[in-house]
Structure 1
Amino acid sequence: MSETRQIDLIDRLIVPLDVPSPEEAETTVALLGDHARFYKIGHQLLPIGGAGLARRLSNRGKKVFLDFKFLDIGATVEKGVASAVKLQGDFITIHSDRDALKGAVAGRGDDPRLKILAVTVLTSWDQQTIIDNGMNMSVHDLVLFRTELAAENGADGVVASAQEAASIRARFGNDLAIVTPGVRPRGASSNDQKRIVTPAEAIRAGSDHLVIGRPILNAPNPSVAVKDIMDEMEEALADDKGV
């Protein structure tokens, strides 16, 4: 694996606010307090106040992942990202399509904060899903193909399973950030994810940030769940440094 990126441990964990309302999201953030700093806002909250929530979290010193997964003609994505810049987010997702990525880069402009992440292959997909969608490639090759598109068209990073992270690191070094969903601590249910790994496995494979939701949100004590995940990540990082 390439040299580990220098990222604060607390910023490596992204907690998705996949709850029914902004009020419940605020309750989750308050419950986790200083144990977590990076939060993802996606489709569930976007239509019902997610934009305002993003601004509030940012104003309180939190980091915000705008998981909007834009995919449209470049001009439309450009306008969407130009609007999203106003939410003061740190990450935004765009499907790995050449025209969409070019539009996103143009819409982001010279904003120093918002990083564009290209979605490669959803972690809920496996090889059979690829076939069912009419594609004649392996999951691994499709992820690398879409990562190549991301790199060529100005993305700052990709969303990819840790199962492909090592190959991405080997090919692109530290040029791209790798954000990995589908991460489950040992013993946790896989739910609807298919290509899953543990936090330690993801870090060792080269992932920079891990998106972990239900094992935290559904835990009897979410703060303890976060601490356990942080400890596991820290161990893996120490192993990589030979500590």
Structure 2
Amino acid sequence: MNGTDSKVIVALDFPQQQQALDLVERLDPSLCRLKVGKEMFTRLGPQFVEQLSNRGYDIFLDLKFHDIPNTVAAACDAAADLGVWMINLHASGGRRMMMAARERLEQRSERPLLVAVTILTSLGVEDIAEVGYQGEPAENVLRLAKLTDESGLDGVVCSPREASEIRRQLGQDFLLVTPGVRPSSAAKDDQRRVMTPADAMVAGSSYLVVGRPITAADDPIQALQAINAEVSESLA
């Protein structure tokens, strides 16, 4: 874990390593953190994560573990061996699974942050109904966030639209990692529940996951600096 004060986590969602490395070369580890998800980790493996960390970046390893408690605990421990800054699992895996992962990580002298995914930001009312959830996405997000807090994790991944209510009910120390953040000039792409960076921070977000508005920009560092400036202004 390397350390930066930036609230922006840039999502490296590329089909090839060189595309990701070309972008990383244009960014700056003092200005952002990086997220490595399932596609890149599956293609490139742990060595790619270590390579990014060696370049000075804090890494959010976004693999959304969901399995029996012992398996998830072991997977989180293996992820921590890579020196990552943050890892996640699915809150829907339940209390015992989350507690097992947290307890395994607490055995380490230094551990990554552990957060839980609530309801994916790509899911709307009809989508969650199809998989058996009742009510609005926000109701389910809050229920799962409370379960995560009770299980002793550091925070949750949620839409920025749910951030203010979670922050109100669970306090200032509970981390809220929010994808679905788009500058007002950017397209929504496949995210349903979105918000601008400034609005997300005002709502209570701790960290913003930003993908295509930075990774697909003609000048990624300029786009990143603009978002950082927007975040700083909202915090001031």
> Under TM normalisation by the shorter chain, which class is it?
over 0.9
Instruction: Please tell me whether the aligned partners of residues 179 and 209 of structure 1 are also in contact (alpha carbons under 8 angstroms).
Output: yes
Structure 1 residues 50 and 186: CA distance shift in structure 2, 3 A: farther
Deviations 1:119-150 (A, max 9, x none): 01111111121212221122111011100110
How many residues are matched?
A: 231
Structure 1, 174-183 or 125-134: larger mean CA deviation: 125-134
Instruction: Please tell me whether the aligned partners of residues 9 and 230 of structure 1 are also in contact (alpha carbons under 8 angstroms).
Output: no
Secondary structure at the aligned position of 1:122 is classed as: coil
- Pairwise CA distance, 1:51: 1.4
| 1:42 equivalent in structure 2 | 37
Distance 1:176 1:50 in 2: 30
Q: Which runs of 5+ in 1 are unaligned?
A: 1-6, 239-243
| 2:177 equivalent in structure 1 | 179
1:90 corresponds to 2:88: no
Q: Compute the TM-score of the two structures, normalised by the length of structure 1.
A: 0.90
2:62 aligned residue (67, 82, 90): 67
1:101 corresponds to 2:98: yes
Distance 1:135 1:95 in 2: 15
| 1:128 equivalent in structure 2 | 126
| 1:4 equivalent in structure 2 | none
Distance 2:29 2:177 in 1: 22
**Paired-residue identity, %:** 38
1:19 corresponds to 2:17: no
Instruction: Please tell me whether the aligned partners of residues 22 and 50 of structure 1 are also in contact (alpha carbons under 8 angstroms).
Output: no
Distance 2:89 2:12 in 1: 19
Distance 2:85 2:111 in 1: 6
Dislocated runs of 4+, deviation >6 Å: none
Secondary structure at the aligned position of 1:54 is classed as: helix
The 5-angstrom pairing of residues 1-243 of structure 1 reads 9-10=5-6, 12-34=7-29, 36-96=31-91, 97-111=94-108, 112-238=110-236
Quick one: which amino acid aligns to residue 174 of structure 1?
Q
- Pairwise CA distance, 1:24: 2.1
- Pairwise CA distance, 1:175: 2.9
Quick one: which amino acid aligns to residue 193 of structure 2?
R
- Pairwise CA distance, 1:196: 0.3
Deviations 1:185-223 (A, max 9, x none): 012110100000000110000001000000111111111
Deviations 1:214-240 (A, max 9, x none): 0111111111111111111111111xx
CA RMSD of aligned residues (A): 1.6
Quick one: which amino acid aligns to residue 100 of structure 1?
M
Distance 2:163 2:188 in 1: 19
